[in-house]
A = this chain, B = another copy of it.
């Protein structure tokens, strides 16, 4: 006799919405760290985040139903931090430090709500903007990306036969586990999950995180996803992002002020955080220029997260800079997080092993690699390059140059102005 839970079955086949975001903690940890700093130093800055689809050939406006997208975004706006979540944020230690978040900040989070969004379908793509105080619009970045990525995947899988889905996920699991087995060959590895924004879906990210926990043991250092970190007793991992220098540069009143912006970010950061959180992101306006102009105290920081230059080249450049400043790279940390796959991780690991401490933040290739797994050979689930970036700051345009010209963002005339001010070494 088969027992069927009639209530479950009825609910599962008729729910109003299968929410993609179910908690405000389903975001990257660095968002909370940055938020606390933003609220302290820049509570009144007005910032717009905007969706940018770098995979233009993928016509999101046709693939993702506008009504479904609005329903998911609206649902995310209904979510508040729960008491349990706030107690955990207040009581847990992060990076070995208790009370990382002040009681005042925790109390403020209790009333937090994601701000309104502006959505239009234009020419087969979505224009999606989040306006508001920086303290609010910043929190849309990760959930917005996760929602769109998962809605796209759901649409591809919608109506597929049960068997096809079974083979799809069996293959994806087998593929994932073969990666774990390769990584098990790197005994000093320090690996964490950075894959929330680009994930195939929440449940799949959770499975991949479990796989790393099971397969890598202590070499798996944690997840950037705060909800998964809380639910699975993992370390929450993350420091800061490009939005900080982008906003401060956009606020600058003149060229000199703009050149100072990246270091002002670090100065504000070190006034709030210390120790292992002192990881600088050097590439917002070109790593070479950043290092050349950096004050000496930046070399006292724990490390860098090169995020757009080829990793070995970027790491060597930073190590040479440390040595020139009399610091021993073996006491420093490089965090690699840009477009890593297992082959890149192995290559970087072997190159730097013994020369510098390393950590890896594994993103898309961890949480959205179903490439080659569809039984019908379809590539419709291949990951896409979708970002959500600061585009305007108090009405002014915002710019990122980065070390990779393809990752530059902002209006062309502004990009040219920034290149002139910061130099073109990075490009």
Residues of A bordering B, CB below 8 Å: 3-5, 7-8, 11, 161, 163-164, 166-167, 169-175, 177, 210-211, 214-215, 375
28 contacts between A and B (CB under 8 A): A3-B5, A3-B7, A3-B8, A3-B11, A4-B5, A5-B5, A5-B8, A161-B214, A163-B210, A163-B211, A163-B214, A166-B173, A167-B173, A167-B174, A167-B177, A169-B170, A170-B170, A170-B171, A170-B173, A170-B174, A170-B177, A171-B173, A171-B177, A173-B174, A174-B174, A174-B175, A177-B375, A215-B375
A29 to B: closest C-beta gap in Å? 24
CA distance A210 to B170 in the complex (A): 15
CA distance A161 to B211 in the complex (A): 12
CA distance A166 to B210 in the complex (A): 11
CA distance A11 to B171 in the complex (A): 32
Closest to A375 in B: B177
CA distance A381 to B278 in the complex (A): 49
A208 to B: closest C-beta gap in Å? 12
CA distance A167 to B210 in the complex (A): 11
Q: Which residues of B sit under 8 angstroms from A5, Cβ to Cβ? A: 3-5, 8
Most interface-central of A8, A11, A167, A172 (chain B CB within 10 A) = A167
A32 to B: closest C-beta gap in Å? 26
CA distance A174 to B166 in the complex (A): 10
Closest to A8 in B: B3
CA distance A5 to B4 in the complex (A): 8
A-B pairs with lowest CB-CB distance, top 4:
A170-B173, A5-B5, A174-B174, A170-B170
Closest to A215 in B: B375
CA distance A173 to B172 in the complex (A): 11
- 12 further A-B contacts with Cβ under 8 Å, apart from A167-B177, A169-B170, A170-B174, are A3-B7, A5-B8, A161-B214, A163-B210, A164-B214, A167-B174, A170-B170, A170-B171, A170-B173, A170-B177, A174-B175, A215-B375
Q: Which residues of B sit under 8 angstroms from A211, Cβ to Cβ? A: 163, 167
A210 to B: closest C-beta gap in Å? 6
Closest to A3 in B: B8
CA distance A169 to B177 in the complex (A): 12
